[in-house]
Structure 1
Amino acid sequence: MSGILLFLSAFLASSVEMVEALTIILAVGLTRGWRSALIGTGAALAVLAVIIAVFGPVLGHIPLQPLRLVVGGLLLIFGVQWWRKAILRSSGFKALHDEDTTFAKETETARNQGAMTGAGLDSYGFALTFKSVLLEGLEVAFIVVTFGASAGRLGLAALGAGVALVVVMGLGLVLHRPLSQVPENTLKFTVGLMLSSFGTFWAAEGAGAVWPGGDSTILALLALYALASYGYVGWLRRLKQARQSGAGMRA
């Protein structure tokens, strides 16, 4: 069961980041040319491969208990950030992320950034796709390497990210547009809960705690955090409605 959760966490987290990167790639490709977009993407993926190849084996030589303490703490921080934003978006306190709007904005920016040359590499298109893919890919690499090293199953975490890459890129090629139908906030909510659950579990183990249910405790933590999220979203929605009602009465 923990292996399934590990795979799903890596798959979903990677999917979210890859959808965001794909939006930039499509915007650049359609406005600045596919050559610069694809070369920028390839260069970023090559850099990411080197980073994973260098740091993956290094993490494998660190004792497991202190590694889980550090990684668990980082994952907990990372997950709570996604979790918090998803709660705020679900309750209406923060606007939902719109890939169509992002695509339109990036497309307009790409069109207005200097003239493209008929031959050679378009430097702006290359730089934009390289930076975007690298930044989003670093988050994917962090999740894959830390998840895999802490669980002792780097291959399974990498498989989750690899499947996400195939699925997202395949949909991107078929749809040839931003994946606006993907419920991104739902994905981020799920990933935030999973990262927080794994982070809590591993950080506590690294600190010397022994979970009574073993790996199955991750499911209990996931259920607990999901229940807490439901309560937070409901409370925030009521709070927002009360504020709006109060503002309406004063007006």
Structure 2
Amino acid sequence: MTSYVLFLTVFLACAVEAVEAVTIVLAAGTSRHWGSAVQGTVSALLVLAVTVSALGPAIGLLPLGALRLVVGALLLVFGLQWLRKAVLRGSGFKALHDETEAYAKEVAAAQAAGAGGRGIVRDWYAFTLSFKGVFLEGLEVAFIVVTFGNNQHDIPTAVLGAAAAVVLVTAAGIAVRAPLARVPENTMKFAVGTMLTAFGIFWSAEGAGVTWPGTDAALLVLIPSVALLAIGYTALLRRTGAAAGTAVPTAAVSAPVEGTLR
């Protein structure tokens, strides 16, 4: 895998997680108390840094074959889950994920929660909401960086891709102070799901002792093959839904390719 492919894969995967984390923090800040939301965010980042510092190096001590087998299996689980949701949304069997709606739900829940603080934290609900959102999404970002970086022996490029995604999404969130509704999240999930699934197949097979023709060049066949298979399933499900009278989004009908990836 080239450094460019590694950077792009990590960037897209981490951007999806960053959008979700920023949406939660924005909801906590705008509906409750910005100071407490920022405190929760900073605290989560500190705890996350300690966790990754303690556990991250341990991954590098595992035998490479065993590491690729385990990581490949985990990537397959994550990739297939993301790809399944993207296919169902693209075919009309599942509603498109709406960051505006998710933001509104978080705001409503925050406004309904009781007030009160603890110690230097003025609003405990805003603090805990931001902390949990940033820490959980941050763990997924850390997992992506460590696994991809270790497997390709290029941690700096993986870190750079993750940092670029987090900084870009955070800057966009601060600039608009609203949910990142314009981000085509389902398109990103389709792309990331495709890449994670392809890498999961590649690494788990290598860990089991398979030697791929052309080594890393086999990914140039695996990635488009997985994408074409997913697009084919999307088209098949769309036709099945239309024949059965299942409602299909207008965007999916008017723009087949765009609907597939949105």
Tell me if TM exceeds 0.5: yes
Tell me the SS of whatever aligns to 1:97.
Answer: coil
Say if 1:45 and 1:133, in contact at 8 Å, map to a contact too. yes
Say if 2:115 and 2:125, in contact at 8 Å, map to a contact too. no
Q: Whole-Å Cα distance in 2 between the matches of residues 52 and 154 of structure 1?
A: 13
Q: Whole-Å Cα distance in 2 between the matches of residues 155 and 56 of structure 1?
A: 14
Tell me the SS of whatever aligns to 1:182.
Answer: coil
Say if 1:2 and 1:218, in contact at 8 Å, map to a contact too. no
Tell me the SS of whatever aligns to 1:209.
Answer: coil
Tell me the SS of whatever aligns to 2:179.
Answer: coil
Q: Whole-Å Cα distance in 1 between the matches of residues 91 and 103 of structure 2?
A: 25
Q: CA deviation at 1:120?
A: 4.3
Q: CA deviation at 1:3?
A: 2.2
Once the two structures are aligned, what percentage of the paired residues are identical? 54
Say if 1:41 and 1:130, in contact at 8 Å, map to a contact too. yes
Q: Tell me which residue corresponds to 1:62.
A: 62
In structure 1, runs of 5+ residues without a counterpart are: 246-251
1:140 and 2:141 matched: yes
Say if 2:82 and 2:190, in contact at 8 Å, map to a contact too. yes
Pairs within 5 Å for 1:100-119: 100-116=100-116
Deviations 1:168-216 (A, max 9, x none): 1111111111110000000000000010111111111111111111111
Say if 2:121 and 2:127, in contact at 8 Å, map to a contact too. no
Say if 1:56 and 1:149, in contact at 8 Å, map to a contact too. no
Q: Whole-Å Cα distance in 1 between the matches of residues 137 and 167 of structure 2?
A: 16
Letter in 2 for 1:171: A
Letter in 2 for 1:163: A
In structure 2, runs of 5+ residues without a counterpart are: 247-262
Q: CA deviation at 1:221?
A: 0.5
Tell me the SS of whatever aligns to 1:180.
Answer: coil
Deviations 1:21-44 (A, max 9, x none): 111101110111111100101111
Alignment size in residue pairs:
245
Pairs within 5 Å for 1:81-160: 81-116=81-116, 120-160=121-161
Pairs within 5 Å for 1:158-177: 158-177=159-178
Say if 2:41 and 2:131, in contact at 8 Å, map to a contact too. yes
Of residues 139-148 and 93-102 in structure 1, the stretch that sits farther from structure 2 once superposed is 139-148
Question: After TM superposition, which residue ranges in structure 1, 4 or more long, deviate above 6 angstroms?
Answer: none
1:179 and 2:180 matched: yes
Deviations 1:9-67 (A, max 9, x none): 11111110110111110111011111110010111111111122112211112111111
Q: Whole-Å Cα distance in 2 between the matches of residues 195 and 13 of structure 1?
A: 9
Q: Whole-Å Cα distance in 2 between the matches of residues 115 and 193 of structure 1?
A: 43
Deviations 1:57-115 (A, max 9, x none): 11112111111111011111110110111000000011111000011111111111113
Letter in 1 for 2:172: L
1:32 and 2:32 matched: yes
Q: Normalising by the residue count of structure 1, what TM-score does the alignment of the two structures yield?
A: 0.94
Q: Tell me which residue corresponds to 1:191.
A: 192
Say if 1:2 and 1:216, in contact at 8 Å, map to a contact too. no
Q: Whole-Å Cα distance in 2 between the matches of residues 91 and 41 of structure 1?
A: 36
Q: Whole-Å Cα distance in 1 between the matches of residues 55 and 121 of structure 2?
A: 34
Letter in 2 for 1:155: P
Q: Tell me which residue corresponds to 2:44.
A: 44
Tell me the SS of whatever aligns to 1:93.
Answer: coil
Q: Considering only aligned residues, what root-mean-square deviation do their CA atoms show, in Å?
A: 1.5
Q: Whole-Å Cα distance in 2 between the matches of residues 178 and 120 of structure 1?
A: 25
Q: Normalising by the residue count of structure 2, what TM-score does the alignment of the two structures yield?
A: 0.90
Tell me the SS of whatever aligns to 1:210.
Answer: coil
Q: Whole-Å Cα distance in 1 between the matches of residues 197 and 121 of structure 2?
A: 46
Q: Whole-Å Cα distance in 1 between the matches of residues 219 and 55 of structure 2?
A: 26
Letter in 1 for 2:170: M
